[in-house]
Amino acid sequence: MNGSNLHVDTFGSKGIGLSTEERACLATSLVGLTSSQAFSSADFWGKIATADVSKDYYVAVAYHGDPFAPTIFMCQDALNWVQAPNVTDDEMHAAADLRAAFMGDPAFEFPLPNGAAGTLPEAKRLTAVVQCILRDAHIVPRGAYFRDSLGKLQRNATFAGLRPHDVTRLASYVHLRPAATSDAQLARPDFEDAVDVLDTVEHDQPKGCWVVEKSVMNVVLSSLIWPGYHHATSVADASFASIYVGQGKKNLDAGFMI
Amino acid sequence: MEDVNQAKQYLQQHSDRTGINLYDHLTELLAQVLEKRPRNPADVFENISSQVKRDRFNLESIQSPLGYKKKPEPNPSLGQVNKLMTVFQSVKRSEDGNDDAAGQVPDILELSGLFEWAGVSFGKEETFLLALSIHQLVQETGLQSARFWGKLSARQGAYYVVEAEGAPPVEDDPEKVAADKAAVEPAKPPPMDVPEFEGFPDIKRPVDMPLPKEEGTGVNKYTYFVCTSIGEAWTRLPDLLPEHVTAARAIRKYLTGNLSTPIVSYPLYPGTEAHYLRSQIARITAATVVCPLGYYTFDPESADEEHPETNTAIIVNTEYEVLPNDALLSLENWVHQIPHVLPQGRTTWVNPVKPRGEGEDEDADREDGEGEDDDDASGDATGGASEREVEPETGPALLTSITEDAEFAGHPAWSVRACSRLQPSKFSPVHLRSNRWPGAHAVYYNGKFACVYVGDGLKDLGGEPTPMPALPPLQVEFKDEALVELVDPSVKDEKAFEEMLKEKEDDAQPDEEDGEEEPAD
């Protein structure tokens, strides 16, 4: 997907939209971003809402071709993208536990949760949150990616979309993340070893953490663990898209609320 | 001649495998060749022959042994589409062109354009269908006015909510019927054959009356209709009792999408999802529905002489001057439009302590009771002591500015922006968003304003961990000064004591007497 292909319209059923000005700015600036560092694609990933509505973050994720090595960009005006700083694993874990709202100031320091010493600047928290969501919640339809004969995960150019009876089943969606423990060989009658290399969403805990909403044109899966993450798959053709519009906070109480 | 006939008969033998005979096949083949006149027919003769054979394969039905047809998979959205078709066909325009009698509905398509600037958009087609559906609701139910309140997401689907005014009262409301019955005939226990009982000692425990429901005013001023997808019939939500609201404040659950689900929670919620949904709608409305300063004013005619501060009738201000977009960027120019819901669960305070005679229920009639700025400010309105003196709960009055809202997690409860950074301000709508209830938006543009809610119906935790429900205190041991606990003597001690007594008796009086002391068992 190139930057100009803003897929926000597919999420209308969730009430998510972008204003005309935002679309114009994003479509233009993302094209510039893609070519600035010769990325193969730069997609609009979503918005993180802050305590000040005029300072919400727009986030874009760019790839050089490896779906597991994203470069994360952020901006607050949809025009001037800034690369978000890299984070360590510890910082990622810390960011998933933070409950305070984003403030809208990239230099704001959050005290680390669970009594740990130190602080986490907001820009790093943003990267950490985006990477957590990519790891925990980002999903694609089964069959959209496959492992080629050299062992590399590729986008499937002949993906024809999910069948109508599959499109509402959770077992048809897989997490796009490196650590894959797929037991599909035992679970599915139509197991394919090139395609079933990623773990499905079916066994995500707590049970019921994915909400499936069907509309006439597509099926939208929303996560309750990272509220605000939505994935839409079209029932008519092979297109699919993800978006995040939320506060950047993990719902640590999801199990009690379901 | 015989040879020709024999040859012909031979050629007309039907094959026992496929049922065709060579005579007919050749006839058809030559007819095709003569019709199509291909170049070099002799070279493509075999192809034409096999083509003719293939075309002959004509299935009468799927049941024939070699027949199969790929069954067309029904479009899974067909059910939804059929419902939407009914929406298209249902709206009747009144014949004389006078649509005003049908009920007031704002221009939803125009408002959706405003909301899109705020980042809330359902898509043009869906919004159009929603508008049609709301018109249909207003016509069928005879509502005075309706507005689209918002959309709440649930675990299976979502709820579209419409706020309506002037809905006809519900006939045979089962709760009301039961309550009326209870008022008329207090429940009598069945007569039993027991001797007259003197009665229990009078323990002074105050009895709480259940708080009365606000009829047609306060939290129940508006009626709410919900549907789970556009095209479905609208369901009316029940009116609220105060305990529904207080219980909803104590729990935190996702909606499931089915109005009759019971809520499994601690503390126990006294109602089904319909009541819980209605409570959340009431809380969100009271906290986040706002309007520009000066648009509404208090209705002088309905002012209550004794309690001017509880006037809740507001009317559109005829002398309102439209503020420019810039002015609405400052939070002082936004005010609350809906009365605040007190911790009791009502918008006007009612003394919960049952009056039991003079002098016992005098609550401290303090003028400035605890001002509750928000739903769950911790103020405990009930005092301690044996005679419960209850302070009246107060909250911010209607039409107070939103700057008075308590800070939330260290930052203001509301934030505002001009939707367009690049256009001049007169073309830029103003977007106001709540931090306490994420998903509550208000938009203002050149005199038009509207509020909407799109979210999961939950209050933001504000950076705090989920509040744990307060468990009831442990029961304490019964204490009565008259009772003294003694240790029962063991058998050894008893025997020793008896022997001691016996020795004393033997020493003092040699006669045998029955032991006074009975051995304790």
* Structure tokens, B400: 């107070």
Least CB–CB distance from B420: residue in A21, A214, A247: A21
- State residue B368's pLDDT score: 31
Across the interface, whether the CB atoms of B417 and A53 are under 8 A apart is answered: yes
What confidence tens digit (pLDDT) does each residue in A209-241 have? 999 988 888 899 999 999 999 999 988 888 899
Residues A212 and A232 in one domain: yes
Please name the amino acid found at residue A177.
Answer: R
Cα B51 from Cα B377, distance rounded (Å): 85
Contact list, B73 vs chain A (CB under 8 Å): 163-165
Least CB–CB distance from A224: residue in B122, B151, B254: B254
Across the interface, whether the CB atoms of B153 and A222 are under 8 A apart is answered: yes
A218 Cβ under 8 Å from any chain B Cβ: no
Query: Which residues, at least 6 apart from B375, have a Cβ–Cβ distance to it below 8 Å?
Result: B249, B283, B287, B341, B343, B459
Task: Indicate the residue among A88, A113, A137 that finishes a domain.
Answer: A137
Query: Which residues, at least 6 apart from B85, have a Cβ–Cβ distance to it below 8 Å?
Result: none
The SS3 call for residue B226 is: strand
Residues A202 and A222 in one domain: yes
Residues A150 and A252 in one domain: yes
Task: Please determine, for residue A186, whether its predicted confidence score (pLDDT) is greater than 80.
Answer: no
Minimal-distance CA residue of chain B relative to A111: B463
Q: Please check whether residue A50 is in contact with residue A122, taking contact to mean a CB–CB distance below 8 angstroms.
A: no
Q: Which residue has the tokens 């359902």?
A: B122
Cα A32 from Cα A81, distance rounded (Å): 10
Provide the β-strand partners of residue B296: B316
- State residue B510's pLDDT score: 60
Across the interface, whether the CB atoms of A99 and B116 are under 8 A apart is answered: no
Query: Which residues, at least 6 apart from A169, have a Cβ–Cβ distance to it below 8 Å?
Result: A202
A53 Cβ under 8 Å from any chain B Cβ: yes
List of chain B residues with pLDDT < 50: 96, 180-187, 356-387, 515-521
A20 Cβ under 8 Å from any chain B Cβ: yes
Q: Please provide the size of chain A in residues.
A: 258
Strands B290-292 and B334-336: antiparallel
Least CB–CB distance from B75: residue in A20, A53, A164: A164
Please name the amino acid found at residue B292.
Answer: P
Instruction: Please choose, from the candidates B265, B228, B181, B222, the residue with its C-alpha nearest in 3D space to the C-alpha of residue B79.
Output: B228
B252 Cβ under 8 Å from any chain A Cβ: yes
Residues A133 and A12 in one domain: yes
Contact list, A17 vs chain B (CB under 8 Å): 115-116, 119-123
A166 Cβ under 8 Å from any chain B Cβ: no
Cα B289 from Cα B199, distance rounded (Å): 54
Contact list, B326 vs chain A (CB under 8 Å): none
- State residue B360's pLDDT score: 35
Cis status of the peptide bond prior to B396, with omega within 30 of 0: no
Residues A133 and A158 in one domain: no
The SS3 call for residue A50 is: coil
SS3 track for B94-145: CCCCCHHHHCECCCHHHHHHHHHHCCECCCHHHHHHHHHHHHHHHHHHCCCE
The SS3 call for residue A8 is: helix
Provide the β-strand partners of residue B235: B226
Q: Tell me the pLDDT band of A129, cut-offs 50, 70 and 90.
A: very high
Contact list, A256 vs chain B (CB under 8 Å): 252, 466
What confidence tens digit (pLDDT) does each residue in A45-98 have? 999 999 999 999 999 999 988 888 899 999 999 899 999 999 999 999 999 989
List the 336-395 stretch of B: residues with Cβ below 8 A of A. Answer: none
Cα A179 from Cα A195, distance rounded (Å): 15
Contact list, A51 vs chain B (CB under 8 Å): 409, 411-412, 415, 435
Residues A57 and A84 in one domain: yes
Q: Does the residue A152 lie in any domain?
A: yes
List the Cα angle B439/A25/A239 in 5-degree steps. Answer: 75
Instruction: Please choose, from the candidates B430, B440, B428, the residue with its C-alpha nearest in 3D space to the C-alpha of residue B330.
Output: B430
Per domain, the residue ranges of chain B are: 2-70, 83-188+201-351+394-455
Instruction: Please choose, from the candidates A108, A194, A95, A111, the residue with its C-alpha nearest in 3D space to the C-alpha of residue A151.
Output: A194
Q: Does the residue A1 lie in any domain?
A: no
Task: Indicate the residue among A137, A157, A181 that finishes a domain.
Answer: A137
Instruction: Please choose, from the candidates A115, A121, A113, the residue with its C-alpha nearest in 3D space to the C-alpha of residue A250.
Output: A113
Determine the distance in angstroms separating the CA of B292 from the nearest CA of chain A, rounded to an integer: 19
* Structure tokens, B14: 């039907």
The SS3 call for residue A19 is: coil
Cα B356 from Cα B343, distance rounded (Å): 24
Contact list, A19 vs chain B (CB under 8 Å): 116-119, 419-420
Q: Which residue has the tokens 């054959």?
A: B193
Mean predicted confidence (pLDDT) in A142-150: 88
Residues A42 and A156 in one domain: no
Percent of chain A whose predicted confidence (pLDDT) is above 70: 95
Q: Which residue has the tokens 């609220």?
A: B240
Helix, strand, coil shares, percent, chain A, to 5? 25, 25, 50
Number of Cβ atoms within 10 Å of the Cβ of B11: 14
Contact list, B432 vs chain A (CB under 8 Å): 53
Residues A133 and A161 in one domain: no
B261 Cβ under 8 Å from any chain A Cβ: no
Query: Which residues, at least 6 apart from A73, have a Cβ–Cβ distance to it below 8 Å?
Result: A33, A42, A59, A60, A61, A62, A81, A82, A83, A84
Structural domain that includes position A221: 140-257
Residues A41 and A61 in one domain: yes
Determine the distance in angstroms separating the CA of A219 from the nearest CA of chain B, rounded to an integer: 10
Q: Does the residue A3 lie in any domain?
A: no
Cα A128 from Cα A91, distance rounded (Å): 7
- Total domains in chain A come to 2
List the 58-87 stretch of A: residues with Cβ below 8 A of B. Answer: 77
Percent of chain A whose predicted confidence (pLDDT) is above 90: 44
Q: Please check whether residue B175 is in contact with residue B272, taking contact to mean a CB–CB distance below 8 angstroms.
A: no
Residues A119 and A149 in one domain: no
Residues A118 and A201 in one domain: no
Task: Indicate the residue among A106, A137, A168 that finishes a domain.
Answer: A137
